[in-house]
Structures are given as C-alpha cells and as structure tokens.
Amino acid sequence: MNENDITVNLAPGSKIDSVDFENLTFGNVFTDHMLICDYKNGVWEKPVIKPYEPFLIDPSAKVFHYGQAIFEGMKAYKDENDDVWLFRPDQNYERFNKSATRLAMPEVPENVFMGGLKKLVEIEKAWVKKGKGNSLYIRPFMIATGPGVLAAPALFYRFMIILSPAKSYYSGEVKVLIAEHFSRAANGGIGAAKAAGNYSAQFYPTKLANEQGYQQIIWTDDATHTKLEEAGTMNVFFRINDTLYTAPTSERILDGVTRKSLIDVAKREGINVEVRPVLVSELVEATENGTLQEVFGAGTAAVVNPIVGFSYKEKYYELPKQENSVALFLKEKLNNIQYKLAEDTFGWTVKI
C-alpha cells in the first residue's frame, strides 16, 4: 500500500508536550492519531488516519451483544540513530487473522494492516522515545459494528489501530495462585484466539486471587487441572535444573510472539529448551527437591515477568533467589535485538 491508498487527516496540533514520559501508566495515554478502516457490503473501504477521538456506534452493534472483538499487542522501538523499528509484525498480522477467522470476522488485508500500521507509526515517530525500556505500544483491533440483536455474525466491522507510549513495565514481585477450579480456555473454544472475551473471563478469578495476596493465576487445563498452561495474560516458562520447559501451543494456549522468540534466543544461546506439557505435580516436586530454579511469564508488555512463588492447594512455595537468572538473561538478549543494540541474527526487526 502506498501513501495515496490511505486518507490522512492530520490533527491541527499535538498533545505530546503535555505528556510526562517519565511517569506513564501503561496503556493510559494515546498518541494524536488513529487508523480506521471499515468493512461494509463484503469489502474493505479505504483506510483513514485521523485525529484520535471517540466515535459513534449503534447501541445494537453486535460487538456489545455477541462479543465479536479481537485485538493484538505489539511494540515499536527507537534506536540510537532515531530510526524506528517494529518487532516481528508479520507474526501479529498472521495471528490477528487467525483470531478473525475463529470469530467469524473478515480477515484484514495485509496492505490495510501492515501498510496502515507503518504509515501511522511513521506519522507518530516523535512519540517513540529513545532509551532501553521506552517503546510505543501498538494496539490493532477489530469490532463488529453491524446493527441488530439476531444471534449471527455481523455484516459490518471496523478495524482500528491506536498507539500508546510505554515505559519499561515492572509489576513488582509477582506471586501466583495455581488454578484448581477456574479455566482460561477449553478444547474447541477460543483460547488460541486473541479474543476480548478471553480476558474479561479472567478478571473474576484473578480478582479472587488478588484478594488472597496473589497478583496472577497460573492457568491449568480445563479437563483435569493438572497441566500448567499460562500465567495471567502471558505464556509461562519453568526452569528446572538447567532446562527451560514451556507448554506447547494448542486450542487453549495463545501462540505468543514473545514466547516463540524467547525459545529461539534460548536455543541460540545454548540453553536447553523442552516444549511439552508440564504437570503441576512436577512443579511441586521440583520445588520440594530444590531443582526448580525459576518461573516466569512472557508477553509483549513486560517481555519477561519473573515469579517469586506460587500457591497450590493452600500451600505456598517460595522460589530460590537467582544470582544468574536465565529469565533476565533472555530478556536482555531479546531487548537488545528489539532496540538494535545487538545484531538481529533472526531477521525479526522491520524498519519504519
């Protein structure tokens, strides 16, 4: 898609000078512009970049009644030469359309998603601040705008991209509760899709965990609650002795871009990685015999989120303090690729 294929209506001024970039709350501040592209009568209309603002929507829009809503999360980074880079956007694009298919929504053409994304980030380059930890969080999403309360897929949809400047994400010491009753997803369901409803369904059990002093839940399989699957809204890794274990992706587990990137970086660095189901009983046994070294979540917002302990069947297990954390080592290696501080031997970065 070239510039002429996108209608650009620039804001008369920028609010960037009123933003305190040193004290950002994740996902609360948005840039001056957004991208909108509507799907009507079986075709995608011309994308429009316009000032960030609210928009009108019919009260009977199917997103409100039947939850047709999907999204992605990705980031742009600025290097020391003031060049801006995306990280593996092709993976987010592919997953976005897999989510669309699963929710009976139209796939977004590559020229709309990638072309619109690159043009929008180019316009908002000033919002991407230099320095490790700084980034521009990118939120592509699609909702069903078609009216009517008949339980059927909508005929009209809106694809949008909004941008939010972000600082290094740190959530403090994270203690987790291993799920024994609630499930994040089930076989045959939409767990592998990045559907909005997956996240709202997590809020209540996470609220109960918060009330007990835990920040997140490690989700287990819906059938037996014996297999460890995800941590909060992130994929999860376990380091037992010197091997990293993580569950294979499935209908229940999101194919995380950070997850697959960390696996490849670990293998490149000579770290043994096994992708296989990990049992709760294995985790408890490894903690009791001293072989469990680390547990950490992996996702776009934090990249790596170390976990200091977990609770299972009302017993709390503290993890050992690490002198040489593999989690933080891998985070550093991945960040160095994203910020162009190290050679991208994988070809993951895309220049704006």
Closest CA to 175 of 209, 214, 219, 202: 214
The model's pLDDT over 142-158, given as tens digits with 9 standing for 90+, comes to 999 999 999 999 999 99
pLDDT of 99 above 60: yes
Question: Phi and psi at residue 116, in whole multiples of 5°?
Answer: -65, -40
Residue 141 has a CB neighbour count (10 Å cut-off) of 17
Domain 3-168 coded CATH 3.30.230.10: no
Rounded to whole angstroms, how far apart are CA atoms 39 and 31?
Answer: 24
Going by pLDDT thresholds of 50, 70 and 90, the confidence category of residue 3 is: low
Angle at 303 between CA 302 and CA 307, to 5 degrees: 70
The model's pLDDT over 167-218, given as tens digits with 9 standing for 90+, comes to 877 667 889 999 999 999 888 999 999 999 999 999 999 999 999 999 999 9
The full set of domain ranges for the chain reads 3-168, 174-338
pLDDT of 299 above 80: yes
**How would you classify the pairing of strands 292-299 and 234-240?**
antiparallel
Closest CA to 302 of 210, 246, 236: 236
Do 284 and 278 form a contact (C-beta atoms < 8 A)?
Answer: no
pLDDT of 29 above 90: yes
Going by pLDDT thresholds of 50, 70 and 90, the confidence category of residue 118 is: very high
Q: What is the mean pLDDT of the chain?
A: 93
Do 105 and 195 form a contact (C-beta atoms < 8 A)?
Answer: no
What pLDDT sits at residue 27? 86
Angle at 92 between CA 86 and CA 98, to 5 degrees: 165
Closest CA to 162 of 102, 105, 121, 112: 121
Token look-up 């965990």 returns: 209
The model's pLDDT over 239-272, given as tens digits with 9 standing for 90+, comes to 999 999 999 998 898 899 999 999 999 999 999 9
Token look-up 């933080």 returns: 328
| Residue 228 tokens, joined | 């460890």
Going by pLDDT thresholds of 50, 70 and 90, the confidence category of residue 4 is: low
The topology under which CATH files domain 174-338 is D-amino Acid Aminotransferase; Chain A, domain 2 (3.20.10)
Rounded to whole angstroms, how far apart are CA atoms 247 and 307?
Answer: 17
Closest CA to 101 of 134, 63, 70, 123: 70
pTM comes to 0.94
Alpha-helical (H) ranges within 73-224 are: 89-102, 110-123, 196-211
The model's pLDDT over 39-84, given as tens digits with 9 standing for 90+, comes to 998 999 999 999 999 999 999 999 999 999 999 999 999 999 999 9
Query: What percent of the chain lies above the pLDDT cut of 90?
Result: 85
What pLDDT sits at residue 210? 93
Rounded to whole angstroms, how far apart are CA atoms 24 and 331?
Answer: 21
CA-to-CA separations, 119 to 14, 84, 108, 123, 147, in angstroms, rounded: 17, 12, 16, 6, 30
Q: Three-state secondary structure along 276-295?
A: CCEEHHHHHHHHHCCCEEEE
Give the N- to C-terminal CA distance of the chain in Å, as an integer: 14
Closest CA to 1 of 117, 149, 127, 102: 117
Angle at 298 between CA 332 and CA 172, to 5 degrees: 80
Mean pLDDT of 98-114: 96
